Amino acid sequence: MTNILIILVVFLLLAALVQVIRVNELLSELKNQDLNKVTDKDNKIQATLFFLIAGVAYLALVLWQFKNWGPFLLPPASSVHGAAIDSLMNFTMGLIIFVFFITQPILVWFVYKYRKTKTKSAYYYPHNNNLEKIWTIVPTIVLSAVIFYGMSVWSQITNADTSESTVIEVYAKQFNWIARYSGDDNTLGAANFRLVGGKNTLGVDMEDIKAADDKITREVHLVVDKPVLLRFRSQDVIHSAYLPHFRVQMNCVPGMTTQFAFTPTQTTAQMKQQEGEDFEFILLCNKICGVAHYNMQMKFVVETQEEYDTWLTGKKTLSEKLLTQK
Ligand SMILES: [Cu+2]
């Protein structure tokens, strides 16, 4: 009902506006004026409106957003490499905001100050080599530095030494996640999509001896300050594994394995103290993969070695599971 009323009001306002314009047209006809002639007064009104809307109101809105939406940004990274991503993000955003607050006021002020008047019109100034050089070379240098900085951070993150990392598989399918721990040998048993079926939801090859001690879980537990290597697979479409608090994101692509190595630096308990009792580390799907995409998530828990051992020891290995089935 409210929506219908809003549409009606908007429609009536538009109709009123059309009538006002029509009245103006008729009046100027009576006065023998050309309605399409742009007067100094028109230019002044347009320039002032532009100044108020694009200058004052827009900049005020930007500042308002910083103040009111700033607190909704993610807390500082809970992983070792995440600190480098945060610095990169702060540097890039700082640079963009700095340039924005210089160029935007200048743009708005020039439009206002140099509007056309009777005595002033645009100066024809088609070319200046020095100006061209400045606005080509300066952005080239700045942007190259930003790109170089970003690429060096990315290559540092993706070339991390994983020899000491605990290997965990994160398996994506419409519309949930399943985890597989690699067991005492720290090596995942082979898997093949042709073997997916019945209880073998991950298509693990049970002929492979390395698969015997693998453990399948519905959430992921990690040990604080211990490196982990997540290996991603997907059963159906491209998903994207996104762990915002650890600054981790990687596509999960059917038919291939992707990976991301990181080291968590904060336990869930520490984060709860800092961010409130409701806090949980969470894995989200960050690629629109179907109707229930929005709800495709899995809990991550970061804890001490003792808590982790207690949790994982309680889980059955794949071979135990199969024995109990027989
Ligand atoms: Cu998904």
Instruction: For residue 160, tell me if it sits in a domain.
Output: no
User: What does the pLDDT average to over 136-161?
Assistant: 95
Rounded-to-integer distance, Cα 299 and Cα 87, Å: 27
| Predicted confidence (pLDDT) at residue 326 exceeds the cutoff of 50 | no
Q: How far is CA 88 from CA 85, 98, 138, in A?
A: 5, 15, 20
What does the pLDDT look like over 69-126, one tens digit per residue? 998 999 999 999 999 999 999 999 999 999 999 999 999 999 999 888 888 887 888 8
CA 272 to centroid of ligand 1, rounded, Å: 27
pLDDT at 185 exceeding the cut of 90: no
Residue 154 is assigned to a structural domain of this protein: no
Mean pLDDT of the 11-18 span: 95
Confidence category of residue 322, pLDDT binned at 50, 70, 90: low
Q: What is the pLDDT of residue 324?
A: 58
What distance in angstroms lies between residue 240's CA and the mean position of ligand 1's atoms? Answer: 6
117 CA → ligand 1 middle, Å: 58
**In the prediction, which pLDDT does 211 show?**
81
Q: Is the pLDDT of residue 325 over 60?
A: no
Which has more confidence, 178 or 318? 178
CB-proximal residues (5 Å) to ion ligand 1: 239, 285, 289, 296
In this prediction, residue 64 carries a pLDDT of: 96
Q: For the CA atoms of the chain, what is the radius of gyration?
A: 30
pLDDT classification of 130: cutoffs 50, 70, 90: very high
pLDDT at 197: 77
Task: Name residue, tokens 């008729």.
Answer: 26
| Cα–ligand 1 centroid distance for 251 (angstroms) | 10
Question: Where residue 193 falls among pLDDT bands split at 50, 70, 90?
Answer: confident
Query: How confident is the model over 255-263, as a mean pLDDT?
Result: 94
| Residue 209 falls inside a structural domain | yes
- Categorize the per-residue pLDDT at 201 as very low, low, confident or very high, splitting at 50, 70 and 90: confident
- Tell me the CA distances in angstroms from 151 to 37, 156, 298, one per residue in order: 55, 8, 30
Least confident of 65-74, 201-210, 267-276: 201-210
**Which strands form 176-181's sheet, in the order they lie side by side?**
215-217, 176-181, 166-173, 228-234, 258-262
Give the count of beta carbons closer than 10 Å to the beta carbon of residue 268.
22
Q: What is the rounded distance in angstroms from the CA atom of residue 84 to the CA atom of residue 201?
A: 37
- Closest by CA to 220, choosing from 165, 162, 170, 258, is 170
More confident residue, 93 or 183: 93
Cα 257 to ligand 1 centroid, rounded to whole Å: 16
Task: Say which CATH number the domain at 262 has.
Answer: 2.60.40.420
Instruction: Report how far ligand 1's centroid is from the alpha carbon of 205 (Å).
Output: 24
Could you give the number of structural domains in the chain? 1
Cα of 202 vs centre of ligand 1, distance in Å, is: 16
Ligand 1: centre distance to CA 261 (Å): 20
Q: Are 89 and 149 in contact (CB under 8 A)?
A: no
Cα–ligand 1 centroid distance for 236 (angstroms):
9
Task: Identify each DSSP E strand in the chain by its residue range.
Answer: 166-173, 176-181, 215-217, 220-223, 228-234, 239-243, 248-252, 258-262, 281-285, 297-303
Distance between Cα 16 and ligand 1 center (Å): 49
Residue 19 Cα, ligand 1 centroid: separation in angstroms?
52
CA of 213 from ligand 1 middle (Å) equals 28
pLDDT given for residue 104 in this prediction: 92
Ligand 1 centroid to residue 310 C-alpha, Å = 31
CA 235 – ligand 1 centroid, Å = 10
Domain annotation covers residue 312? yes
Ligand 1 centroid to residue 228 C-alpha, Å: 22
**pLDDT band, residue 213 (cuts 50/70/90):** confident
Find the 220 Cα to ligand 1 centroid distance in Å: 17
Contact between 228 and 247 under an 8 Å Cβ cutoff? The reply is: no
**Alpha carbon of 260 to ligand 1 centroid (Å):** 17
Q: How many Cα atoms sit within 13 Å of 42 on the Cβ side? A: 7
What does the pLDDT look like over 230-244, one tens digit per residue?
Answer: 999 999 999 999 999
Average pLDDT score over residue span 170-196:
87
For residue 62, being part of any structural domain is answered with no
Domain encompassing residue 193: 166-317
User: In this structure, is residue 173 part of a structural domain?
Assistant: yes
Instruction: Give the Cα-Cα-Cα angle 253, 254, 258 (nearest 5 degrees).
Output: 40
For the chain, give the mean pLDDT: 90
The mean-pLDDT minimum among 18-22, 29-33, 93-97, 133-137 falls in 29-33
Reply yes or no: is the peptide bond before residue 279 cis, omega within 30 of 0: no
Higher pLDDT, 29 or 239: 239
Rounded distance from Cα 234 to ligand 1 centre (Å) = 9
pLDDT at res. 157: 93
What's the 176 CA to ligand 1 centre distance in angstroms? 7
Residue with more model confidence, 84 or 188: 84
Residue 183 to residue 304: CA distance in whole angstroms: 18
Strands 166-173 and 220-223, how do they pair? unpaired
170 CA distance to ligand 1 middle (Å): 12
Whether 247 is in a domain gets the answer yes
Residue 24 covered by a domain: no
Cβ distance 19 to 27 under 8 Å? no
pLDDT at residue number 231: 95
